[in-house]
Amino acid sequence: MGQSCDVAIAGAGIVGAACAMECAAAGLRVVVVEPGPIGGGATAAGMGHIVVMDDSPAQMALTYYSRTLWRELAAELPPEVEYVEAGTIWVAADSDEMAEVHRKKRVCDGIGVRTEVLDSQALAEAEPNLRRNLAGGLLVPEDAVIYPPCAALHFMDTARRLGTILRAGETAVALSGQGLSLRDGTLLSAGITVDATGAWAAGVRKRKGHLVITDRYPGFVRHQLAELGYLKSAHSTTEDSVAFNVQPRRTGQVLIGSSRQFGAEDSAIDTPILARMLARAREYMPGIADLLAIRSWTGFRAATRDKLPLIGPSAHDPRLYLATGHEGLGITTSLATAKLVVDRILGRPSAIPCEPYLPGREREAQS
């Protein structure tokens, strides 16, 4: 059967672009279909935090593996990707959250992720604009921040240099193991089809988020800061929630998050939730109220029930792969996702077990 390519990828967000780059590097013929700008969906809407997360062992394995891949790649990333190992500080407000700091440290120690416990004073020295009476925090120094749209663009450019064809401005209206159907009726036949359309993929739910960015105030924030309450907020799968989560951009701008809403389909700014999100940030950093906000936006995370991404062949069609459902971790785990996808296509062993992320697991869990 004549196939136009080995792998057809729908979506050139950071996950689709990373998959294209890895497939092309493995010698596969790749076509990518993207209706909008590269990295223009959740990739552009997200924070660009490269972070080890320990919600579950599988999440930790994937994020740690992927962070390692980012660190290996760091030296060859162009400057506009703005890769900075700023480190994450998980901020503990009280003694309960300080206990969580120590638990988190033990988990990190267990797999070799470097961390450092900060007491109240060390936290104040590390981040002078945090409010004073906080209990402390956990510094994860090797976590990083990037500017994701340019990372996706770099991955896509790398893939194109290796022969990948980008069909920009075209939309895949139907995906199957045979390939992609475009809006104009063209069928792009492929050996493997990869659905990397993020929140628009089948089987995931949209989880809306808001962000605000300020004018340039270098040094106001030095690390990615997240409240440990963030875990409680991110865990909730029903209620709208906000959490203190701010990021220093290389430009000196401060990126302020975060909010999570289910059931919201409208991309407009939701004023009450935006205000709640910023008020939460002000609780932790009172001075943030005086910075000038220059822009706000929303985006849709692709969420799954068990908070793990869907990576690998779909349950009903072994040639239709999913690479979605990363929720808030798509930037971090894009590189590992791409590795797992290519390993599976080529039948190579993977660096970490792929089973926890296989799409079929959801069906099994339900039955």
Partner 1 sequence: MTLLVNGTPVSVEPGSMVSAAVAGLCRESVSGEPRGPLCGIGICFECRVTVNGRPHSRACQTPCEEGMEIAVASAVEQPLSRQPLSPRLRATYDVVVIGAGPAGLAASVRAAECGARVAIVDDNPHPGGQIWRAVQSVPRPEASRWLRAAERHKVDRIAGARVFAAPAPNWLALETSDGGRELKYGRLILATGARERFLPFPGWTLPNVMGAGGLQALVKSGLPIAGKQLVIAGSGPLLLAVAKYMRRHGAQVRLIAEQAGRQSLARFAIGLAAHPAKLLQALELRASLFGIPYLTSCWPIAAHGRGKLESVTLQQAAKTWTVPCDYLACGFGLVPNIELAVLLGCQVERGAVAIDEYQQTSVPGVYCAGESTGIGGVDLALVEGEIAGYAAAGALARAGKRFAERRRHRRFAARLEQAFALRDELKYLPQDATLVCRCEDVAFGRIRDCGGWREAKLHTRCGMGPCQGRVCGSAVEFLLGWQAESVRPPAFPVRVGSLIDTGSIL
Write down the least CB distance from residue 150 to partner 1, Å: 6
Write down the least CB distance from residue 330 to partner 1, Å: 16
Of the candidate residues 281, 311, 335, 338, the single one contacting partner 1 (CB under 8 A): 281
Query: How would DSSP label each residue in 83-119?
Result: -B---EEEEE-SHHHHHHHHHHHHHHHHHT---EEEE
How many residues in the shown chain lie near partner 1 by CB under 8 A? 47
Write down the least CB distance from residue 171 to partner 1, Å: 14
Does the protein bind partner 1 through residue 274 (CB under 8 A)?
yes
Is the separation of the CB atoms in 118 and 105 below 8 Å? no
The C-alpha atoms of residue 252 and residue 257 are separated, in whole angstroms, by 16
Does the protein bind partner 1 through residue 160 (CB under 8 A)?
no
Of the candidate residues 78, 286, 318, 353, the single one contacting partner 1 (CB under 8 A): 286
Of the candidate residues 11, 39, 313, 359, the single one contacting partner 1 (CB under 8 A): 39
Q: Could you tell me which residues come within 8 angstroms of residue 36 by beta carbon, excluding any fewer than 6 positions away?
A: none
Binders of partner 1 in range 317-346 (CB under 8 A): none
Sign of the alpha-carbon torsion through 91, 92, 97, 100: positive
The C-alpha atoms of residue 264 and residue 270 are separated, in whole angstroms, by 10
Does the protein bind partner 1 through residue 168 (CB under 8 A)?
yes
Binders of partner 1 in range 207-266 (CB under 8 A): 212, 214-220, 251-252, 256
Of the candidate residues 293, 315, 351, 354, the single one contacting partner 1 (CB under 8 A): 293
| Residue placing its CB nearer to partner 1 in the complex, 131 or 205 | 131
Does the protein bind partner 1 through residue 79 (CB under 8 A)?
no
Is the separation of the CB atoms in 349 and 303 below 8 Å? no
User: The tokens of 231 are what?
Assistant: 């875990």
Which of 249, 203, 241 has the alpha carbon at shortest distance from 222? Answer: 249
Which of 51, 47, 227 has the alpha carbon at shortest distance from 142? Answer: 51
Footprint of partner 1 (CB under 8 A): 36-40, 44, 80, 129, 149-150, 153, 168-169, 212, 214-220, 251-252, 256, 268-269, 271-272, 274-276, 278-279, 281-282, 286-297
